[in-house]
Amino acid sequence: MSTRTWQPNLGYTLSVMDIKANLEKLEKTVRNTAIECGRNPEDIQIIAVSKRFPSEKILEANQSGHRRFGENQVQEAQDKANRLSGEDIEWHLIGHLQSNKARIAARIFDCIQTVDRARIAGKLDRLAEEFGKNLSVMVQVNVGGEEQKAGVEPESAAQLVSVVDGCRNLNLIGLMTIPPYEENPEDARIYFRRLRELRDTLNRERSYPLRHLSMGMSHDFKVAIEEGATIIRVGTAIFGQRPPIGTRVT
């Protein structure tokens, strides 16, 4: 049974009981999907996409045992990280990174999944050195060729990967994509497959393999897992309906 609490400016939002139950249901679905396609469920990480959800909801999920959270906006993430400092939380940037926000991003995020150009890679490298950290990053690939979306074109990915490899303070762990939205999850399979094939091609020339593929969201993560996703980014299936754009949350 679902219980709800009233949050100012947000209306009714899911309670801790719902979030915990949703996480358990999601983890079970991920495990079953992995087993059905012959994969090890332990190889798949869930990023709880917490953009536009208040810190209280992140804390509820964290207290339910989840520690990886994804944010799209650097300023919003900074506010939340400050409020939740001291908690066992791993922050991932999954939105486009503007150069003027790189300093904040390099400081607060544990992983930046959206490196899409050599200039931002170089800047993150210098900032990571300044902060004395080894920053995990992923290269974002625009597998759908959509003009409105960030990400390096697939044919240019190898060049950007080479640049990131040359950054001493960046730890390149894999590739990430946000494919075109498809109402039918099966229609997204081709994009997930393209990213996996690109990763496999790149790995043939590498001294150490790129392990991770970050792809798949609430409505299509099962297909993404079948195509090799090791990181899925899920928000509404955990937290419920997202507050409207423009809602200020911390």
Q: Which domains does the chain have, with CATH numbers?
A: 4-239 (3.20.20.10)
Q: How confident is the model at residue 243 (pLDDT cuts 50, 70, 90)?
A: confident
Give the least confident one: 15-19, 24-28, 62-66.
Answer: 15-19
Question: Which pLDDT band holds residue 8 (cuts at 50, 70, 90)?
Answer: very low
**DSSP assignment letter at 234:** E
Give yes or no for a contact between 44 and 92, defined as CB atoms under 8 angstroms apart: no
Whether residue 244 is predicted with pLDDT greater than 80 in this model: the reply is no
H or E element that contains 203:
helix 189-203
At 112, list the tokens.
């930046």
Taken as a whole, the chain contains a residue count of: 250
Q: Give me the mean pLDDT over the 24-47 stretch.
A: 98
Mean pLDDT of the chain: 92
- Written as six digits, the tokens of 168 are 């001493």
Residue 2 in tokens: 């679902």
Question: How many angstroms separate the Cα of 31 from the Cα of each of 23, 47, 50, 62?
Answer: 12, 15, 22, 20
Residues 100-158 pLDDT 10s: 999 999 999 999 999 999 999 999 999 999 999 999 999 999 998 888 889 999 999 99
Is the pLDDT at 10 greater than 50, yes or no?
no
Beta bridge partners of 218: none
Q: Does residue 3 have a pLDDT over 50?
A: no
pLDDT in the model for residue 189: 97
Amino acid at site 201? T
State the Cα angle at 78 between 72 and 80, rounded to 5°: 90
Q: What is the mean pLDDT of residues 84-106?
A: 97
Question: The tokens of 134 are what?
Answer: 């080894």
The model's pTM is 0.91
The whole-number pLDDT of residue 142 equals 97
Rounded to whole angstroms, the Cα distance separating 177 from 196 reads 10
